[in-house]
């Protein structure tokens, strides 16, 4: 039986922390559950999951549906599309069965790439490699989760670029049903007509839209999130604090201009594998603390101040203790509350 390999290349950078990653996690579960009830899919579909942030990591090797259990997705730092694409190429080289004189190999693989941000690396070389040697041998579908990406970048590697406009749970559910339907129709088409062209399911209701190559939306990309990395003083565990950009009316009416600030979305513990998925220095610019609205408790130990800034330049949690020891630099210090604002390093996202 010829396999229909499906690869999910999932962006697990910081901005995905919280609800988006949970939605994707849940979505992966529902795709697999649904596909298992489909006789064509059950016979042909093999699934692999690759997560990428600054680096890429194989989460699940290419495996048949009935042996597949949706894994827990990690969170890492940065969005390296170049590393992700090179990693995928390595996987295609290693795990696909090629057609030879004696045997019929795998059907053309489908790759679903989910991302919510823009690459933070130099990706051009990997794009060239992809376009020259792999593009025609696979079906790549890129889906922008939310409007924070520059879709023109992805058009350089595929004609299938889609935009999931809203990232609320309902839109995510519809979207994952669409992914499932697209896999089902393609697996039926290979089984019954030996045609491994990509068969995307129709899109209804406008929650998802295909980016038109001709028109090529060249919109200015706005950075919607600021994410900060911290460590818990008590547990030494890393956590991320996520802020969403918003337009706030100016405090002074005579200044007509609105100002931008960042409102707290939440604080989320991450695994230590966060650092494995980062590449090099993950800081990108600084943001002034006066532009942040809302400060969380520590999500690891419950300490009251999740956003305490050590002189070493890192963020930690502090509580009622007399003196606090920084989990980053090990220096003990007393924390006070200054009125002065300071600049904080933000992660790449």
Q: Least distance to Zn ion from the beta carbon of 240, Å?
A: 13
Integer Cα distance of 173 and 188 in angstroms: 23
Q: Least distance to Zn ion from the beta carbon of 264, Å?
A: 16
Q: Is 326 in the site for Zn ion (CB under 5 A)?
A: yes
Q: Is 298 in the site for Zn ion (CB under 5 A)?
A: yes
Residue pair 310/316 in contact by the 8 Å Cβ criterion: yes
Q: Which of residues 212-241 bind Zn ion (CB under 5 A)?
A: 232, 234
Q: Is 344 in the site for Zn ion (CB under 5 A)?
A: no
Q: Is 312 in the site for Zn ion (CB under 5 A)?
A: yes
Integer Cα distance of 137 and 129 in angstroms: 13
Strand partners, 157: none
Query: What are the Cα distances from residue 111, in Å, to 65, 206, 343?
Result: 16, 23, 40
Q: Which of residues 98-117 bind Zn ion (CB under 5 A)?
A: none
Q: Least distance to Zn ion from the beta carbon of 301, Å?
A: 3
Binding piece for Zn ion, criterion CB under 5 A, among 86-94, 101-109, 196-204, 312-320: 312-320
Cβ-based nearer residue to Zn ion, 225 or 307: 307
The only residue of 310, 315, 318, 346 in contact with Zn ion, by rule CB under 5 A = 310
Classified as helix, coil or strand, 256 is: coil
**Rg of the chain taking only CA atoms, in angstroms:** 22
User: Nearest Cα to 98, choosing from 110, 107, 89, 90?
Assistant: 107
CB atoms within 10 A of CB 93: 11
Structure tokens at 191: 């089984």
> What burial letters (b/e) apply to 13-27, b meaning 16+ CB within 10 Å?
bbbbbbbbbebbeeb
Residue pair 23/114 in contact by the 8 Å Cβ criterion: no
Integer Cα distance of 266 and 97 in angstroms: 45
Cβ-based nearer residue to Zn ion, 226 or 232: 232
Q: Is 329 in the site for Zn ion (CB under 5 A)?
A: yes
Site string (129-168) toward Zn ion, x via CB under 5 A? ----------------------------------------
CB atoms within 10 A of CB 275: 14
Q: Is 301 in the site for Zn ion (CB under 5 A)?
A: yes
Q: Least distance to Zn ion from the beta carbon of 282, Å?
A: 17
Site string (173-212) toward Zn ion, x via CB under 5 A? ----------------------------------------
Q: Least distance to Zn ion from the beta carbon of 320, Å?
A: 12
**Binding-site residue total for Zn ion (CB under 5 A)?**
12
Cβ-based nearer residue to Zn ion, 232 or 265: 232
Q: Least distance to Zn ion from the beta carbon of 326, Å?
A: 3
Q: Which of residues 62-101 bind Zn ion (CB under 5 A)?
A: none
Residue pair 208/162 in contact by the 8 Å Cβ criterion: yes
Binding piece for Zn ion, criterion CB under 5 A, among 26-34, 171-179, 285-293, 324-332: 324-332
Sequence-distant (6+) residues with CB within 8 A of 316 are 230, 231, 232, 233, 308, 310, 324, 326, 327, 328
The footprint of Zn ion (CB under 5 A) covers 232, 234, 298, 300-301, 303, 310, 312, 317, 326, 328-329
């Amino acid at each position: 039986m010829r396999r229909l390999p499906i690869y999910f290349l999932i962006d697990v950078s910081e901005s995905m922390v919280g609800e988006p990653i949970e939605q994707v996690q849940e979505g992966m579960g529902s795709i697999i559950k649904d596909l298992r009830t489909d006789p064509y899919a059950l016979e042909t579909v093999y699934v692999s999951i690759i997560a990428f942030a600054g680096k890429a990591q194989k989460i699940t090797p290419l495996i048949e549906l009935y042996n597949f259990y949706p894994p827990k997705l990690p969170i890492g730092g940065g969005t390296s599309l170049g590393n992700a694409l090179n990693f995928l190429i390595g996987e295609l080289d290693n795990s696909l069965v090629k057609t030879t004189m004696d045997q019929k190999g795998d059907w053309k693989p489908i790759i679903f790439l989910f991302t919510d941000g823009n690459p933070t690396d130099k990706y051009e070389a990997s794009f060239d490699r992809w376009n020259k040697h792999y593009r025609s041998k696979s079906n790549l579908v890129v889906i922008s989760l939310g409007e924070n990406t520059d879709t023109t970048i992805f058009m350089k590697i595929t004609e299938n670029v889609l935009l999931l406009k809203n990232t609320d749970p309902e839109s995510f559910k519809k979207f994952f049903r669409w992914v499932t339907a697209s896999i089902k129709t393609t697996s039926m088409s290979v089984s019954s007509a030996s045609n491994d062209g990509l068969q995307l399911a129709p899109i209804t209701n406008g929650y998802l839209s295909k980016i038109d190559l001709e028109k090529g939306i060249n919109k200015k990309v706005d950075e919607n999130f600021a994410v900060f990395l911290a460590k818990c003083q008590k547990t030494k565990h890393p956590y991320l604090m996520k802020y969403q950009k918003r337009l706030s009316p100016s405090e002074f009416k005579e200044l007509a201009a609105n100002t931008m600030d960042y409102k707290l979305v939440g604080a989320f513990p991450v695994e230590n594998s966060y650092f494995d998925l980062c590449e090099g220095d993950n800081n990108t610019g600084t943001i002034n603390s006066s532009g942040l609205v809302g400060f969380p408790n520590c999500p690891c130990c419950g300490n009251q101040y999740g956003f305490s800034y050590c002189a070493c330049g890192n963020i930690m949690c502090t509580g009622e203790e007399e003196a606090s020891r920084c989990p980053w630099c090990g220096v003990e210090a007393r924390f006070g509350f200054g009125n002065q604002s300071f600049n904080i390093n933000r992660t790449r996202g």
